[in-house]
Structure 1
């Protein structure tokens, strides 16, 4: 690797670390309580370097949303390897439940960020957070459509609302068992939909 490539690779790595740190720290602390120094510290980057990559905190929030979107793409891409759409949805729910301790401590990464950004008077970041949630809704709706069920978009809203609700309650009550119980309820609900589809 030449010297001219090394600086570019180092810069890309530094930006990637800052983006990942922004997603983590904003999830754990929220937008208002997070400083650029917090994100720099989590990324292992001198705070003065942050401004080279991100001029404002809003740019870091946008980078965090991009990170959440990339994680969603990675998750749904892995789930798409399963042949049965019902199994894809069940595995999604199991992944949510598998992060029950994180949800109980901090809530849903994108959901909590969307709720906080909605309280701001200016900017479009709230809509950008909503767009990430909409991507999840669209993917879930495709699974219900592939199952041959009516109103796939409505069923997607029910499922994602169930996740957001159980994340919120687990966080508010600091009780990860809520995720376990409600996740099991969502799995039974999916089975009931599949059974109803077979009787038609």
Structure 2
């Protein structure tokens, strides 16, 4: 059973995760997070001394979430099926992507504008996805092409996520993920 303290911290972190995805890191205040989590604002400082600490915890939270997805995908017997699982995850999130954009891509882009340690830590999220995808292409026997193939795949997924959000059209995800799956199958 989760302790009362862990529960409050978890609620604050989940509130930050939702708010930052919906409105951005810089637009999300500690007061917003406290209100969403139904925790008094003064209590926020017990768990997170600064907004930057929330940012670090949020990045770790997202890393754990995507790490769990990757661990599940790694159980699939074939690297091609693993790559399809990545593509299908984006496909399954098309409504959220249309509403708020990619939770990793948007965060990385926003934090990179400010630079600093938080931006560098956020970039590790995207680097982990690229690295995992490159490994899958290596396992498919693509050798020295693997890094470029991974970059292409992740770039297309990020690009279609941006356009889906920009135009509010989730069907764009379906069009592009269908093409990507055929492309992966042709390799």
Report the TM-score when normalising by structure 1.
0.89
> Between Structure 1 and Structure 2, whose CA radius of gyration is higher?
1
- Say whether 1:158 aligns with 2:152: yes
- Say whether 1:97 aligns with 2:91: yes
1:31-73 CA-to-partner distances (Å, cap 9, x unmatched) read 2211111111222222111010111111111111111101111
1:132-174 CA-to-partner distances (Å, cap 9, x unmatched) read 1101111111111111113211111111111100000001111
- Say whether 1:37 aligns with 2:27: no
Distance 2:156 2:110 in 1: 20
Q: Indicate which of 105, 108, 126 corresponds to 1:114.
A: 108
Give the secondary-structure state (helix, strand or coil) at the position aligned to 2:129: helix
Q: How many residues were matched structurally? A: 186
Which runs of structure 2 are paired with 1:79-98 in the superposition (5 Å)? 79-98=73-92
Give the match for residue 28 of structure 1: 22
Which runs of structure 2 are paired with 1:181-192 in the superposition (5 Å)? 181-192=175-186
Give the match for residue 74 of structure 1: 68
Deviation at 1:186, TM superposition (A): 0.7
Give the secondary-structure state (helix, strand or coil) at the position aligned to 2:124: helix
Contact 1:159-1:186 at 8 Å conserved across structures = yes
Contact 1:104-1:171 at 8 Å conserved across structures = yes
Greater shift, 150-159 or 83-92, is seen at 150-159
Report the TM-score when normalising by structure 2.
0.95
Following superposition, which runs of at least 4 residues in structure 1 exceed 6 angstroms of deviation? none
Contact 1:86-1:143 at 8 Å conserved across structures = yes
- Unaligned runs of at least 5 residues, structure 2: none
- Unaligned runs of at least 5 residues, structure 1: 194-200
